[in-house]
Amino acid sequence: MCFDVDSHPPDLPADLAPIAGGAAAERLDLTSADGTRFSAALAEAPQPADPAVLILPDVRGLYRFYIELTERFAEAGHHAITFDYFGRTAGAGERGEDFEYMPHVAQTTVEQLQADAAAARDALRERTGARAFVTVGFCFGGMQSFLATTSAELDLAGAVGFYAALDGTRRGIAGPLQRADELRGPLLGLFGGADQGIPVEQVREWERALTTEKEIVIYPDAPHSFFDRKFEEYAEASEDAWRRVLRFLTDVGARVGS
């Protein structure tokens, strides 16, 4: 598990918090290119700026943590949508604490997830008129966020990954480490120096192999899933990560003429 079941996303930094609350996320059922029905949650920003955000969850899929996170991005001025990975094998719906996700994770493919991301992107564009999109992914979703930059169909303006799995060989695929020279930037990678599953040496190897614009940040004492206000001792890393992500979105928006 990537975070405790009663976790919530960290609040926005106080000086970046909205004067008034943002919109609550709306639950949606979407259809992928192969006809698969899957669930998503969309939050609209009251005073939006491009790019809009496609949130790629960790292995839990459409869990409430990520639904709340769409609302945080909307509060920060960016339309956002998150979606579930498991419509093909577990049906539609929000995932609860007792969802046995790993058998379903094992049945996903990069191509299917990118098709689902494209359907989520299309729904967000139709609803909001957003013109540019950035993926923000976590763990398994961080891997998919970076791999999504290789998709001509998605045509992303950038990608962010929190503690992204880099080596895909354990899943029998080429991950961001193996496909480093194919990834398109700008990229923002946020990692924990105390993450036992993603060694710092591997992060640095990936960073050296990248041939595109990137910013790679390692928080020395932070573990996997540090972006979680239950871990109050990692509040400083979480706040810094928020600032970097929002600055990244601002920079991307300036490039696309927002």
At 22 the pLDDT is: 59
Check if the beta carbon of residue 78 is closer than 8 Å to that of residue 53.
yes
Query: How far, in Å, CA of 253 to CA of 131, rounded?
Result: 10
At 14 the pLDDT is: 79
List pLDDT tens digits, range 53-109. Answer: 999 999 999 999 999 999 999 999 999 999 999 999 999 999 998 899 899 999 999
The domain limits of the chain are 14-255
At 254 the pLDDT is: 94
Query: How far, in Å, CA of 82 to CA of 78, rounded?
Result: 13
What is the band of 44 on the pLDDT scale with cuts at 50, 70, 90?
Answer: very high
Q: What is the mean pLDDT of residues 112-134?
A: 97
Check if the beta carbon of residue 242 is closer than 8 Å to that of residue 73.
no
The beta strand positions in 74-145, using DSSP E, are 80-83, 133-138
For residue 258, pLDDT beyond 60:
no
What is the band of 257 on the pLDDT scale with cuts at 50, 70, 90?
Answer: confident
| CATH architecture label of 14-255 | 3-Layer(aba) Sandwich (3.40)
For residue 4, pLDDT beyond 90:
no
Check if the beta carbon of residue 80 is closer than 8 Å to that of residue 69.
yes
pTM: 0.95
At 174 the pLDDT is: 96
At 17 the pLDDT is: 66
At 21 the pLDDT is: 56
At 229 the pLDDT is: 67
List pLDDT tens digits, range 231-243. Answer: 678 999 999 999 9
Tokens of 174: 């080429």
